[in-house]
Chain A
Amino acid sequence: MSGRLRGSASIVGLGQTEFSKSAGRSETRLAAEAIVSALADAGLPVESVDGLVSYTIDPVEETELVRSVGIPEVRWSSRVPYGGGGSQGVLLHAAAAVAAGVAEVVVAYRAVKARSGARVGRAEVSGRASSSHAGTTAGQWCTPYGVLTPASWMALNATRYMHASGATSEDFGRAVVQMRAYAAANPNAHFAGRPITLADHQASRWIAEPCIRLFDCCQETDGAVALVVTGADRAADSRAPVAVAAAAGAGVFEEEVASNHYRPDLSVMDSSVALAAQLFDEGGVGRDEIDVAMIYDAFSPILLMQLESLGFCGRGEAKDFVADGHLGPGGRLPCNTNGGLIGGGYIHGLNLTGEAVRQLRGESCNQVGGATTVLVTSSRTGVVLRRG
């Protein structure tokens, strides 16, 4: 599938609201603002939009969005199952719709009030009545045991990863220090101007021992991001198009995002292994072509786990890859140059896509010189984006 979509769609517009701890307005308004901003960036009128895609956990109702933004006719809409793990799936869906000719201009969006609304990381015993995690394996089998939050779900995998790889909390901390250094230089980041040291990381309290400290966690954020996707031919007229060179999703679909507890070897992210096969092997992209990587870092252990499962380093070698500075400027794989989800903010991964677009436009606060190919992944979904 990914091979057939190769280069047939492009991102032509990027819009986002400010990222804050309290947006003071509804998710629907945040989504509407980001979409209008993205369309302005694309140079396209609202009336041109005929497709919508988001995540199943997004709280914005399509009806309210359409009647607020004033989209006259939606010909196609879709949602990618669950949350951040599916974040790059919105581009797979949008590219597929455009390639199939069922929509011409698709807006992909995600709006969250994680900080001031229903906080993702807050312990809740009753599942919410949406297609989030209420009726799935995580809710049914974790809740009775006090395993209530994404951090606690993921911690069970991360401890096993530490056991298999020899990685320590300090190893995770070195990745966090790099994310926070990038964030410090990004005025739009949650932690703008606030770098940390490894000692600061080690002094932050345990959320889930022995793997996740407070500073290992993404920053719950209020905000929205929108992307405008259209066909490559139509994109040629736009200011700074970014081609969707490869898009893939699903992988091993036994997990929503961080609640995969039943695969045989939890030190490996099987979904990322499957994703890499789709993007790199079937998609015809070489790992050595990737100039910048945006890798879903809801919690720092999964950043190291994905580096291995995506094949950027061998099993157990991510700790050395990080310690050698390869995620930083001048490294082999500059990673999460907006500060990631840990330092930049948590719009469930779609802000990582936004940073990828900025890198390819040469507009990042931590610009990687000559970046032409950027990978964006979120465990089970991913895209390779190219300039032009």
Chain B
Amino acid sequence: MVTGDNEGFWSAAEEGRLVVQRCAGCRALHHPPRPMCPDCRSVDLGWEQAVGTGVVYSYALLHHPQHPAFEYPVVAALVDLDEGVRLVTNLVDVEPHQVRIGMPVEVAFEPTADGFAVPVFRPRGAP
């Protein structure tokens, strides 16, 4: 669901860029993005491109229930970006049972069924 508070993230993704919200007031990074900085109450918030590397903080192989828009098992993961924020995402280009907490990953972009591009992650160094 695209809203005024998150559209910058998804429109950057469509251009193949991973961005994180940065507060112009105190320079803190925030994800998920929000309309006010919880650290300094500034509403001057912008988007900054992330390097796109991080590590797997946690994961789960989702088997049931199944929705036709996805392939199963869905490899769901939490990735901690090197910038220090965490994303809910999918892992690609990896055998599901090889996924491990702490695995280094890098961003990739995958088209979705309804035409959006979403940032996903693959093992770092994978082709």
**Which residue of chain B has the shortest Cβ distance to A144 in the bound complex?**
B118
Contact digits for A99-140, partner B, Cβ 8 Å, 1 yes 0 no: 000000000000000000000011111010000001101011
Instruction: Decide: B65 and A149 in contact? CB cutoff 8 A.
Output: yes
Q: Of residues B70, B88, B89, which shows the largest number of chain A Cβ atoms within 10 Å of its Cβ?
A: B88
Smallest beta-carbon distance A117→chain B, Å? 16
Alpha-carbon distance between A112 and B111 when the two chains are bound, in angstroms = 37
Given A137-B32, A142-B88, A160-B58: A208 in contact with B69 (beta carbons within 8 A): no
CB neighbours of B59 from chain A (8 A): 156, 159
Does B108 make an interface contact (CB < 8 A)?
Answer: no
Instruction: Decide: B65 and A208 in contact? CB cutoff 8 A.
Output: no
CB neighbours of B61 from chain A (8 A): 206, 208-210
Instruction: Decide: A160 and B57 in contact? CB cutoff 8 A.
Output: yes
Instruction: Decide: B67 and A156 in contact? CB cutoff 8 A.
Output: no
Instruction: Decide: A146 and B67 in contact? CB cutoff 8 A.
Output: yes
CB neighbours of A148 from chain B (8 A): 65, 67
Given A146-B74, A156-B76, A261-B88: A123 in contact with B65 (beta carbons within 8 A): yes
Size class of the B contact interface (CB-based, 8 Å): 20 to 34
**Which residue of chain A has the shortest Cβ distance to B2 in the bound complex?**
A140
CB neighbours of A135 from chain B (8 A): 1, 3
**Which residue of chain A has the shortest Cβ distance to B64 in the bound complex?**
A207
**Chain A interface mostly:** mixed
Does B50 make an interface contact (CB < 8 A)?
Answer: no
Alpha-carbon distance between A141 and B70 when the two chains are bound, in angstroms = 16
Instruction: Decide: A145 and B76 in contact? CB cutoff 8 A.
Output: yes
Q: Quick one: which of A147-178 are within 8 Å of B by CB?
A: 147-149, 152, 155-160, 163
Smallest beta-carbon distance A254→chain B, Å? 10
CB neighbours of A127 from chain B (8 A): 1
Instruction: Decide: B58 and A159 in contact? CB cutoff 8 A.
Output: yes
Chain A interface residue count, Cβ-Cβ cutoff 8 angstroms: 40
**Which residue of chain A has the shortest Cβ distance to B80 in the bound complex?**
A264
**Which residue of chain B has the shortest Cβ distance to A142 in the bound complex?**
B88
Instruction: Decide: A145 and B74 in contact? CB cutoff 8 A.
Output: yes
Instruction: Decide: B90 and A146 in contact? CB cutoff 8 A.
Output: yes
Alpha-carbon distance between A162 and B6 when the two chains are bound, in angstroms = 32
**Which residue of chain B has the shortest Cβ distance to A148 in the bound complex?**
B67
Alpha-carbon distance between A142 and B101 when the two chains are bound, in angstroms = 19
Given A159-B58, A159-B59, A163-B101: A143 in contact with B32 (beta carbons within 8 A): no
Alpha-carbon distance between A210 and B76 when the two chains are bound, in angstroms = 12
Contacting residue for A207 out of B1, B31, B63, B67, CB 8 A: B63
Instruction: Decide: B6 and A160 in contact? CB cutoff 8 A.
Output: no
Does A205 make an interface contact (CB < 8 A)?
Answer: yes
Alpha-carbon distance between A160 and B59 when the two chains are bound, in angstroms = 8
Contacting residue for A155 out of B6, B60, B120, CB 8 A: B60
CB neighbours of A212 from chain B (8 A): 60
CB neighbours of B77 from chain A (8 A): 156
CB neighbours of A146 from chain B (8 A): 62, 67, 69-70, 74, 76, 90
Does A350 make an interface contact (CB < 8 A)?
Answer: no
Instruction: Decide: B58 and A163 in contact? CB cutoff 8 A.
Output: yes
Q: A146-B69, A159-B101 are in contact. List 18 more A-B contacts (CB 8 A).
A: A123-B67, A141-B32, A145-B120, A146-B67, A146-B76, A146-B90, A148-B67, A152-B76, A155-B76, A156-B58, A160-B57, A160-B58, A163-B101, A209-B73, A211-B60, A212-B60, A214-B64, A261-B78
Binding site for B on A (CB under 8 A): 121-125, 127, 134-135, 137, 139-149, 152, 155-160, 163, 205-212, 214, 261-262, 266
